[in-house]
């Protein structure tokens, strides 16, 4: 049986990653899009990085693929993508998947949103569905 820790380690071996303390400097950079992979309940409970795009982990592949009926234009923007989740596990797997699907300039926050908060990164509320 393959364990999740092994899968995360394999993903981290092939994708760019850095702790939140280093990634904070990218916030508010116009050509960088932070992608929040957490469950909507996590966003409501803890907030999110201001300006981040919320992509629930279960929709990632469908939203990345430009031929999918669910494709999102954010993933065809040509920006640099910084994925994050709570602790860096889901984002490692997601960054690897995105990279395998051909998305360029993909990385993830290795210590996740918890590291972001601990490093003093800005935190905002989850945007309403109308925004």
* CB contact at 8 A, 47 and 123: yes
Alpha helices (H) in 24-126, listed in sequence order: 40-46, 60-64, 89-100, 112-118
Q: For the segment 17-27, what is each residue's pLDDT rounded down to a tens digit?
A: 999 999 999 99
Helix (H, G, I), strand (E, B) or coil at 1: coil
Q: What is the pTM of this model?
A: 0.94
Can you tell me the mean pLDDT for 76-96?
Answer: 97
Q: Looking at the domain assignment, is residue 18 inside a domain?
A: yes
Residue 84 sits in a domain of what CATH number? Answer: 3.40.250.10
Q: Looking at the domain assignment, is residue 124 inside a domain?
A: no
Q: Looking at the domain assignment, is residue 89 inside a domain?
A: yes
* CB contact at 8 A, 28 and 12: no
Q: For the segment 56-81, what is each residue's pLDDT rounded down to a tens digit?
A: 999 999 999 999 999 999 999 999 99
Q: Looking at the domain assignment, is residue 102 inside a domain?
A: yes
Q: Looking at the domain assignment, is residue 125 inside a domain?
A: no
Q: Looking at the domain assignment, is residue 126 inside a domain?
A: no
Q: Looking at the domain assignment, is residue 80 inside a domain?
A: yes
Total number of domains in the chain? 1
Say whether pLDDT at 130 is over 80: no
Q: Looking at the domain assignment, is residue 57 inside a domain?
A: yes
E strands, 1-131, in order: 16-18, 32-36, 53-54, 80-84, 106-109
Q: Domain residues for 63?
A: 4-118
């Amino acid at each position: 049986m393959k364990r999740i820790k092994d899968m995360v380690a394999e993903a981290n071996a092939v994708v760019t990653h850095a702790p939140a303390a280093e990634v904070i400097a990218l916030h508010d950079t116009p050509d960088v899009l932070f992608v929040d992979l957490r469950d909507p309940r996590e966003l409501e409970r803890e907030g999110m990085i201001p300006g981040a795009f919320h992509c629930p982990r279960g929709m990632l592949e469908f939203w990345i693929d430009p031929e999918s009926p669910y494709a999102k234009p954010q993933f065809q923007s040509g920006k640099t993508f910084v994925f994050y989740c709570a602790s860096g596990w889901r984002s490692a797997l997601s960054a690897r998947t995105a990279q395998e699907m051909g998305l360029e300039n993909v990385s993830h926050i290795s210590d996740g949103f918890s590291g972001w908060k601990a490093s003093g990164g800005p935190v905002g509320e989850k945007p309403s569905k109308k925004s």
